[in-house]
A = this chain, B = another copy of it.
């Protein structure tokens, strides 16, 4: 089978990480070109990972018949347009989350993908993490029985971003969106309602941009399960990513990983290291695995495990979470 030619669109922090993985770890695909509106960014990334071509205009790459697939790692506001254009150009698409911050844009892009019949995967990497997978498999295997309550914690090492980032509500589209997807994936069904308690507790001034920095959501799912999501934008002890599910036959929980598991005991007590700093460290191997699965799905012509519906539902949930916050009431979904 021939090696697939990938184009990377967007060479920011997550784009660079994918470039590194494609250069070293991914089988069956190679990075043939990089596009970034910042020429230096594209050039340096290309040089660093031996990528033969770079450009500031991703349309050039979409027009190149030798490019088989694209990795959309640009700013969120550009995702929908690029996905639509890539689909119309017949490229397979891996898109970082979220697909969009509006449902209209999301649907326009996702419809283009569906019409083109190309492969599409949205970047919910936690589904590929061995810890999260253990939870999923515990549920699938019946180890905890029927799920009753789920707690999801996602806390960023902060400080929270400040500024006019699109339509506001960044926390729901950037942070919570992972938890929304994890909840749907674990429950294997859809949410029916959501209630949000959120506020600016950390960075006064965020309000003017329609942002919050602390948010707790409680959702009800079709299977009866109650899900809470805990998001915090400035965790003093660093990046915190946890899950707990209790069911009729037991419970399963996962915690964080650190650089080392040493315990230092001294006159002040027992001490251990903080979690790995942030998503690039915490999920490095997971991002790699995620992309390998995408490449394999293209090569084997099998459906990607995180597709159109997942991209769309996560946007719907983020919108509902934001609406619940704005209207201070429970919002029904679907």
Contact = CB atoms under 8 A, between A and B. Distances in A.
Contacts of A140: none
A193 B264 CA distance: 28
B330 A262 contact: no
B266 A261 contact: no
B216 A201 contact: no
A236 B263 contact: no
B261 A131 contact: yes
Interface string A259-272: 11111111111111
Nearest to A285: B285
A235 interface: yes
Interface stretch (A36-44, A53-61, A143-151, A308-316): A143-151
Contacts of A25: 24
B201 A224 contact: yes
Contact of A248 (B234, B248, B264): B234
A193 B267 CA distance: 32
Given A224-B201, A230-B151, A272 B274 contact: no
Contacts of A144: 236, 264, 266
Contacts of A195: 195, 197, 218, 330
Nearest to A198: B226
Interface residues of A, number: 68
A134 interface: yes
A230 B149 contact: yes
A328 interface: yes
Given A254-B262, A261-B254, A272 B270 contact: yes
A202 B147 CA distance: 11
A257 interface: yes
Given A218-B218, A232-B148, A250-B237, A135 B262 contact: yes
Given A193-B197, A218-B218, A256-B261, 18 more contacts: A133-B260, A144-B264, A144-B266, A148-B201, A149-B216, A149-B232, A195-B195, A195-B330, A197-B218, A202-B248, A216-B228, A235-B246, A240-B251, A250-B266, A253-B262, A255-B261, A268-B271, A330-B330
18 contacts: A134-B259, A146-B201, A148-B214, A149-B214, A151-B230, A155-B246, A195-B218, A199-B226, A214-B226, A218-B228, A236-B249, A236-B266, A240-B251, A253-B262, A267-B274, A269-B274, A270-B271, A329-B330
